[in-house]
Amino acid sequence: MSTSSSAAKTRLERDSMGELAVPADALYGAQTQRAVNNFHISGQRMPVGFVRALLLVKAAAARANVSLGALPPPLGDAIGGAIHQLLALPDNQRMEHFPVEVFQTGSGTSTNMNANEVIATLAARALGSPVSANDHVNASQSSNDAIPTALHASTAIALHNDLLPALDHLQTILRAKGRTVYEHVKTGRTHLMDAMPVRLSQVLDGWAQQVEDAAGHLRATLPALQRLAQGGTAVGTGVNTDPDFAEKFAAELSTATGLRFTPAPSFFAVMGAQDSIVATSGQLKTTAVALMKIANDLRWMNSGPLAGLAEIELEALQPGSSIMPGKVNPVIPEATAMVAAQVIGNDAAITVAGQSGNFELNVMLPVIARNVLESIQLLANTSRLLADKAVATFKVNEAQLKHALSRNPILVTALNPLIGYLKAAEIAKIAYKEGRPILDVADEHTDLGRAQLETLLDPVKLTGP
């Protein structure tokens, strides 16, 4: 029940704690407004993907409740219609109705009630009679199972729809680029020092395998993420919920999303702890580490163009300096490295938050949701940028590759079986000191003959079959 005050552009709403002024045009009610009043910390609202998943959770719960007789069909239809209306809005317009920030009550109760109140307002308008945010929209639910369920669902959806396709795209581009640079042989490096030669295609194949492995590890987290807390209600016992609700709910959410969700084997495990999200975040960190390695290799290979390695030339995307004309920087690899740093930081926060499972509930759910979904989105976006604006478009500086290879004394390693390590080391030292090609020095200090040395020291043959 509410009264309006048009002069102040507010209305009075009532909850269990009494009356509170709420903006006159707000769809939410008193409990949301209390959270808005209480939490002025970061200005960051809950993630768009999380709110969307929570709305899908509410819709699936309404359909399950109707099928089990816990809600009359007209009421369930009105709730479903309200959610459909919200989901049809552009993200920025939808989020106007969800003002609660991330740093709130650790169970996410404020966000759960925010959703309940907004849905109840729209459903009541459609139905022409009151709809309760608690008794109707939140029927057979608690914040303590709805928020963990939305966390799992939003993470699984984001992985499936955003990050895994982006990683597959990056892997595809890496392997395609590798095929185009197969003929190019470069100096390998260990400890940042000259080592035996490698094909550029082998370098890219290594990167592609890192990405493929990262995607595989993330896919392996999906089964655990798709086991849901919904049905546990307050503490995991399922109080106030039909025994068949969890199964019905999971089937409804599966139909709505195209992913196969199931009730968790133990509601206590997925409400009191968030181990599966912690594990997923760990694999996101591993993905970030892989992208950091690729980005830094690209930066090193692109360094120069005169005083660096200059083995490749990344696409010039923008001026690199406000004072040095003509300077161009490796902006995409640099952005990728920063994303990796952020994801690693997010994982640290999730790890700490994951330890905050006190008895029957984890009480850092909102910050877990914020960080895991940000990590997924950052990695998805940067993977596509790295693929399309760095890997696919770089050019090979063949002249520089050949120049470095011809002067690489480490090629003498190929002679070890014939002349021994010590003799080979002596030849390498002479070549280093005199700045001469290893072929010429080896010809002077062995009896192998020029023709045989040319075969033995051929960088292409030293890269393997």
For the question of residue 191 being annotated catalytic, the response is yes
Kindly name the residue from 6, 16, 40, 191 that is annotated as catalytic: 191
The set of long-range contacts for 345-350, using a CB threshold of 8 Å and a minimum separation of 24, is 346/281, 346/284, 346/371, 346/372, 346/374, 346/375, 347/281, 347/282, 347/284, 347/285, 347/288, 347/371, 347/375, 350/277, 350/278, 350/281
Tokens 């995991």 belong to 236
Kindly name the residue from 321, 322, 356, 383 that is annotated as catalytic: 321
Q: Give the other-Cβ count within 10 Å of 456's Cβ.
A: 19
Tokens 């945010």 belong to 133
The set of long-range contacts for 265-268, using a CB threshold of 8 Å and a minimum separation of 24, is 265/227, 266/236, 267/145, 267/229, 267/231, 267/232, 267/236, 267/237, 267/238, 268/232, 268/235, 268/236, 268/360
Closest CA to 379 of 316, 289, 296: 289
For the question of residue 321 being annotated catalytic, the response is yes
> Residue 185, CB half-sphere, CA atoms under 13 Å: how many?
17
Q: Is 41 exposed, middle or buried (0-12, 13-18, 19+ CB in 10 A)?
A: exposed
Question: How far is 52 from 154, CA to CA, in rounded Å?
Answer: 8
Q: Give the other-Cβ count within 10 Å of 324's Cβ.
A: 8
Question: How far is 279 from 60, CA to CA, in rounded Å?
Answer: 27
DSSP string of 199-222?
EHHHHHHHHHHHHHHHHHHHHHHH
Question: How far is 315 from 260, CA to CA, in rounded Å?
Answer: 42
DSSP one-letter code for 260: -
SS3 (DSSP) at 23: strand
Phi/psi at 288 (5° precision): -60, -40
> Residue 243, CB half-sphere, CA atoms under 13 Å: how many?
0
Question: How far is 263 from 347, CA to CA, in rounded Å?
Answer: 26
333-358 in b/e burial notation, b at 16+ Cβ within 10 A?
A: bebbbebbebbbebbebbeebbebbe
SS3 (DSSP) at 12: strand
Contact 82, 119 (CB under 8 A): yes
Q: Which residues are catalytic?
A: 191, 321
